[in-house]
Structure 1
Amino acid sequence: MAKMMVTPELSEFTSMIVSVELADLMLNSEGPITVLAPTNDAFENIPQAIKQDLSNPDFKGVLTTLIKNHIIEEDLTSSALLQSIQKNGEYSIKTMGGASLTAYLNDGEIMVKDSNGVTAKIGKSDILGTNGKLHMLDAVLSMTK
């Protein structure tokens, strides 16, 4: 996922990956993995108090979980996701962090919702990396399972 590390609109997410020492996992994992990466704009929309907590070294475990809740240990293209949603009305996803996500369509857009009701739209998708795919999200999913 070296591609993600050099994508300017994902600099906030990638700096968090580096800060909790998950860069090796992202870069060297055999994969396939799919990363649902929140954009910098997505991080701008979370409350300031939560942003401060995420930058606090005492919250490293929480930040690690947040990042892992955006990683799926499978190759999930947007077309495969769309087909599964169209077939079943929605598609359940389990993340590396143990969170359960639900993908569904809203006005033709692929949306992802976590168990706390936080919803994100998939924007740019199917960005190929050496060990998987990257889809950009317009919101940050929850830090809990």
Structure 2
Amino acid sequence: MKHIATALMASAALALSACGDTAEAPEADATMDTMAAEDTMTMEGENIVQMAQGNSDFSTLVSAVTAANLGDTLSGPGPFTVFAPTNAAFDALPEGTLAELTAPEGQEELSGILNYHVVSGDVTAEALMQQIEQGGGSAELTTVNGATLTATTEGGNVILTDAAGNTATVTQADMDASNGTIHAIDAVLMPS
């Protein structure tokens, strides 16, 4: 099961890469509804992995997925939702962190981190906003590594909070792949 979750994250990460080249990211203060309307992209026939591989904004994510030796699970039928950190999100990590994670001895930790960005099912921006509203202002999302992310809104933006209290903002929503949805985020989230 752990290998499947890892593979799912890898594929999701790859798909996110491909999506960034197709449309510009919306302004940070755009609402999720506006983001969904402006940034919805359907790449018929392209799965999450194929979309990510074709997007230069996700090249670091694709490299991390490769370093983690993640399988082709996210190329499967899904559906999966991937919260994909952009290159800038990886660049914001403390110096040396990415090098440590992509080294052979960091593979297990890297896999866990990547899987923390993937949720089983197709969670669109509209569905996520409904979950947040129904949850009284927040929604708990269980990731494929078994940990949770908390989704809230601030100024019309969806904010994800990780286990350590760090946050990431969804900067581009609803990039549709044949097997799920990708949402670009501006920070790398950590499971613990």
Which TM-score band applies after superposition, normalised by the shorter structure?
over 0.9
- Tell me if 1:50 matches 2:104: no
Aligned to 1:34: 81
CA–CA distance in structure 2, aligned partners of residues 140 and 40 of structure 1: 10
After superposition, the CA RMSD in angstroms is 1.2
- Tell me if 1:82 matches 2:117: no
Aligned to 1:61: 108
The list of structure 1 runs, each at least 4 consecutive aligned residues, that deviate by more than 4 angstroms after superposition, is none
Aligned to 2:149: 101
What is the TM-score with the length of structure 2 in the denominator?
A: 0.71
- Tell me if 1:124 matches 2:172: yes
| Structure 1 letter corresponding to 2:68 | V
Gaps of 5+ in 2: 1-47
| Structure 2 letter corresponding to 1:45 | A
CA–CA distance in structure 2, aligned partners of residues 23 and 6 of structure 1: 18
Quick one: percent identity of the two aligned structures? 31
Figure out how many residues of one structure are paired with residues of the other and give that number.
143
Deviation at 1:143, TM superposition (A): 4.3
Contact in 1 for aligned 2:163/2:191 (Cα 8 Å): no
CA–CA distance in structure 1, aligned partners of residues 181 and 71 of structure 2: 16
Deviation at 1:78, TM superposition (A): 0.5
What is the TM-score with the length of structure 1 in the denominator?
A: 0.93
Deviation at 1:121, TM superposition (A): 0.2
Deviation at 1:97, TM superposition (A): 1.2
Gaps of 5+ in 1: none
CA–CA distance in structure 2, aligned partners of residues 42 and 99 of structure 1: 20
Deviation at 1:75, TM superposition (A): 0.7
Contact in 2 for aligned 1:76/1:133 (Cα 8 Å): yes
Distance 1:143 1:92, change over 3 A: closer
CA–CA distance in structure 2, aligned partners of residues 26 and 11 of structure 1: 17
